[in-house]
Chains A and B, each alone.
Chain A
Amino acid sequence: MQNIWKILRITILASTFLTFTILVLFPTIFLASFPLIYIDDIRYEVFENPLIGSENLRLIIEVLTFSFKLSASTVLVDILLGIPLAFILARGNFPGKLLLETLVTLPLVMPTSGFGFASLLTWTTVSGVGKWFGLSRGILSITSNLPFIDVPIIIFIVHVSLTLPYIVRTVQAKLVEVDIVYEDASRTLGATSLTTFRKILMPELLPAIFSGSVLAFARSLGETGATIIVAGVRLTAAVAVVKWEFEFKLGAAAFLGLILVLITWLIILPAELFLTSAKGGIVKPPSLISGTIVERALIKLEAKFSKRIFKNILHGVCVALLLVLVIVPIVVVVESVFSYMFKDPYTGKTEGSVIYQLFGPANYLPIMLRSTAVSFASAFTSTYISVFLSIPLVYIIDRYRVGRILRALLKVPLVIPSSALGLSVLLFWGPKFLGLLTPSIWLIILTQIVFSVPVIVETTMAVYEGSNIKLYEDAAKTLGANPYHVVEKISLPILKEGIITGAILSFTHSLGETGAAMIVMGADIPISVLVVNMVESLAIPAALFTSAYLIIISTIMIVVFRIVSGRRRI
């Protein structure tokens, strides 16, 4: 009897490990081997093209520089905006707090292409807020740049909206964990609220701000779905990977993808090391200015700005900006669907109406329905497979040495640009290497598995580590339960919450993902990509309808998500 269970266990674990290696690990790291295998392609396309010389290399450097400026400024604003918001959510107690919290999270689950289109409409066209101010154009032009850094404002604000949740959530989580008593102590000792923030909270929050920034930076660097819609002629690195793949410049695309992955790694790796070394211990930043004249001046300044009125203004501004960035585009897109329903409100032509584009000669409805089917079928299948792969993986990660390496490797698909990931999957399964699959829904599913498994493993691990599961399992064993019963009656029910949360997150992620899907989809166009195609073919009313529809689906999803994870507030 003992032996049978042992064999069963080994079989399950070994097969899981094998499947994981083939489905997740190899496709993730395949891109890294690309330069070795296709060194000639790269040299030909990037460095020594007989026609254009190293023009592609120049382009690569250009898009990388642009992406860096964009992501760095995004993260900077994320921090400035995100810390006060995290404060409001962690320390505040007001009606509507749950709503605000949901709002902050919304961009995480919203299909980015839909959101990108909504933002484009809102800020750069007459259908957006321009109309509210009586303008006959948008309040921004698609080429309006931020001063000094030459980054289009529209791309910048979309990136801020999409990456803000990473800072807010990590800082908020840390703040909730920090006992408010330290702030109280500091106040009674005579420190104003800003001085308290600097001297008492900052040391505690630094790791959280740091890891949130790293996530936000990685996300911004890799964002494709919204960027491709709002970018106009500008190319970010992640978008360039997609575009070049379309133009069959595979060597250049792969080379750029690889650089992106390496950069992401260079950022993530030190961050991981720093965080794991600080974990458990206490960060003791040296207080260089403590007690000096500089600090005295600083304290006086902080005292001036610690007045309640300044705090209220700061909080008000941050909340207002969040509302403007997230809610206004949603309102505009929904409102526009109605005003474009039967005719174009500006030209009066029925050809420009939602109804005409969906049911008329363009006949977008069946296309949309098919895309919906592709999206849901692929998201469901990949989530389903990922769940069954993730549960034994959690076990492996916890019980075996290789677990820690596995866990670190699993971070890769979470942070590398999705277009690079899509390219890697395509190269691995596709004609260039294994030759098993061509771009289609099957490749979409395989790609989604690659980033779904890490999500589910992480949320399940979080529950696993937060519970005394081993204790309960041992208790059940001493009571004579066989391994099957232990798993069914003890382990799974405890882990259920993490698994469900992970499944919902990976489902929404799969549904909204654009960058990788564009590369691997072939003729099976998922709904998130359909929005991009519609915008590119200027079928605006159809794009409007599809965006509104995506936004509504994701809003429903986040409500469900809230209800499911209500107790733990992930």
Chain B
Amino acid sequence: MPEVKLVDVTKRFGDVHALRGVSLTVKDGEYVCILGPSGCGKSTLLRIIAGLLQPDSGSIYIDGRDVTYKPPEERQVGFVFQNIALFPHMDSWSNVTYGPVVKCMDRDTAYKAVRELMVILNIAKYSGLYPYELSGGIAQMIAIVRALATGAKLLLLDEPLGALDPRVRVNLKYELRRMVKDLNLTAIHVTHNQEEALTVADRIVVMRSGIVEGFDTPENLYWRPKNLFIADFIGKVNIMRGVISRVIGEKVLISLTNGQLVELHAEGFSEGDSVVLAIRPENFEFSSDDVMQDISLTGVVARVRFMGEYYRYDVRTEAGETIIVNYPVGGDVKKLGEKVRIWFNPETVLIYPYPEKGIEKELMVEI
């Protein structure tokens, strides 16, 4: 049921603009992640949705109802905190039934639902324990049950996995998504962890300095990022500068700074435009012979890192740039100082107008 709509929400703390006009709509039943660097306003946004903070301006609608001025206790949301926040003086059972008790819900029905949920999640056996007797993962699961115990259909999670061990984190991550889907909930999950967002979300909100930079499916954000910031923020890119030297129908001919010419599919550019090419590290290949001469670069391997499933090479080109190349394990391993030739498939290149503020500014996580 719950659909969440924010219209032009702003929030300031003194001189800090935590949110600068955020508008977005989370659809019913969606699992949305809010992704962004620390301090970009993710928690502020979530707390405003929950009613724990008042926006300076803008409106919040839950289920089409304007809740902007409603206190948290009247919003029917479940909130899960990074530091878990189980009430320390209550055991697990008192914690999970706290909501039904303070809302004066019918005891039998509410308790039955809570017990069922605990059984499904396999945590019923911890009912009698106090928070300090629980491991982080279990405690967070109890906290999730607590958030849902009053029948909330909108689950707000503020870095719910942030305080947990890496292994617990992975398990709980998928558990969370399955639960949200099984119970027909809408979830808004805040995280600064890219991988977490990419793997669990239906759609991701990318935030920077109080602004929504993008809101799309993980695939679109990764393969068709709307702007250079997102391209770089989601999964790193190599960046090359160039100028459009000719427009040929749906294609453009770009001359790179090192003088090489590249032909790409691109629209909306005209001759003389400055552009930026962004190429993902996994889209580079090492070439053994002279194929595709025109878009290859030569350089020296300046650093080699073994990343598990692939190697990551820093290749220093003749022009002095450093290109990062991810190359799967299995091929022959390049050695430090080895001269190599690398090339990329023009189909995989992302192309953007040269940012007015300069590349460095465009990519900065804080503005």
A residues with a Cβ closer than 8 A to B are: 179, 181-182, 184-193, 195, 199-200, 203-204, 282-285, 287, 290-291, 295-296, 299-300, 306
Contacts and interface: CB of A to CB of B under 8 A. Distances in A.
B147 A189 contact: yes
Given A189-B150, A190-B150, A300-B104, 15 more contacts: A179-B85, A181-B85, A182-B88, A184-B79, A185-B85, A186-B102, A187-B52, A190-B102, A191-B98, A191-B102, A199-B98, A282-B88, A291-B97, A291-B101, A306-B71
B103 A190 contact: yes
Given A204-B89, A291-B107, A189 B102 contact: yes
A287 B97 CA distance: 13
Closest 5 CB pairs of A and B: A188-B79, A191-B102, A189-B99, A187-B72, A190-B103
Contacts of B87: 182, 185-186, 200
User: Could you tell me the dominant secondary structure of chain A's interface residues?
Assistant: helix
A295 B101 contact: yes
Contact of A190 (B52, B73, B156): B73
Interface string B123-157: 00000001010000000000000110110000010
A184 B98 CA distance: 13
Contacts of B99: 189-190
A184 B81 contact: yes
Interface of B: 47, 50-52, 71-73, 75, 77-79, 81, 83, 85, 87-90, 94, 97-99, 101-104, 107, 130, 132, 146-147, 149-150, 156
A300 B130 CA distance: 28
Contact of B73 (A179, A182, A187, A203): A187
B144 to A, nearest CB: 12
22 contacts: A182-B85, A182-B88, A184-B79, A185-B81, A186-B98, A188-B72, A188-B75, A189-B103, A189-B147, A190-B102, A191-B102, A191-B103, A192-B102, A199-B98, A199-B102, A203-B89, A282-B132, A284-B90, A285-B89, A287-B94, A291-B107, A295-B101
A188 B89 contact: no
Contact of A189 (B88, B89, B98, B156): B98
Among A184, A189, A203, the most chain B Cβ lie within 10 Å of the Cβ of A189
Contacts of A291: 97, 101, 107
A191 B89 contact: no
Contacts of A282: 88-89, 130, 132
Contact of B50 (A188, A199, A204, A284): A188
B227 to A, nearest CB: 34
Contacts of B101: 290-291, 295
B146 A189 contact: yes
Among B89, B149, B156, the most chain A Cβ lie within 10 Å of the Cβ of B89
Contacts of A189: 73, 98-99, 102-103, 146-147, 149-150
A90 to B, nearest CB: 17
Nearest to A291: B101
Contacts of A295: 101
Contacts of A299: 102, 104
Nearest to B101: A291
B47 to A, nearest CB: 8
A93 to B, nearest CB: 9
A283 B72 CA distance: 27
A284 B50 CA distance: 29
